[in-house]
């Protein structure tokens, strides 16, 4: 194995690790903001006088309506 192919392999491994790190960071960010949005929605529904079960049921109904609208 010559030096150029070794450098190429090491570079490819480093690039793959950087890409995986970026994707993991993106996933963590999206998960954090999704959880934050869900907590905000539950708090808003709680301030309207509903419990968490009713708030989650309303969220599920909204998702079901969006899914059915998309399917046609």
For 17, half-sphere exposure in the C-beta direction (CA atoms, 13 angstrom radius) is: 6
Longest Cα–Cα distance in the chain = 71
Q: Cα(30)–Cα(12) distance, rounded to whole angstroms?
A: 27
Query: What average pLDDT score do residues 48-63 get?
Result: 88
Q: Tens digit of pLDDT for each residue in 2-15? A: 788 889 999 999 99
Q: Cα(38)–Cα(19) distance, rounded to whole angstroms?
A: 28
Q: Tens digit of pLDDT for each residue in 22-37? A: 999 999 999 999 999 9
Residues 6+ apart with CB under 8 A from 38: 59
Token pair of 55, please? 């708030």
């Amino acid at each position: 194995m010559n030096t150029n192919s070794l450098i190429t392999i090491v570079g490819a491994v480093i690039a793959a690790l950087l890409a995986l790190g970026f994707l993991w960071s993106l996933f963590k960010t999206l998960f954090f903001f999704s959880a934050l949005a869900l907590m905000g929605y539950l708090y808003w529904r709680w301030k309207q006088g509903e419990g968490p079960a009713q708030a989650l049921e309303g969220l599920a109904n909204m998702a079901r309506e969006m899914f059915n609208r998309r399917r046609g």
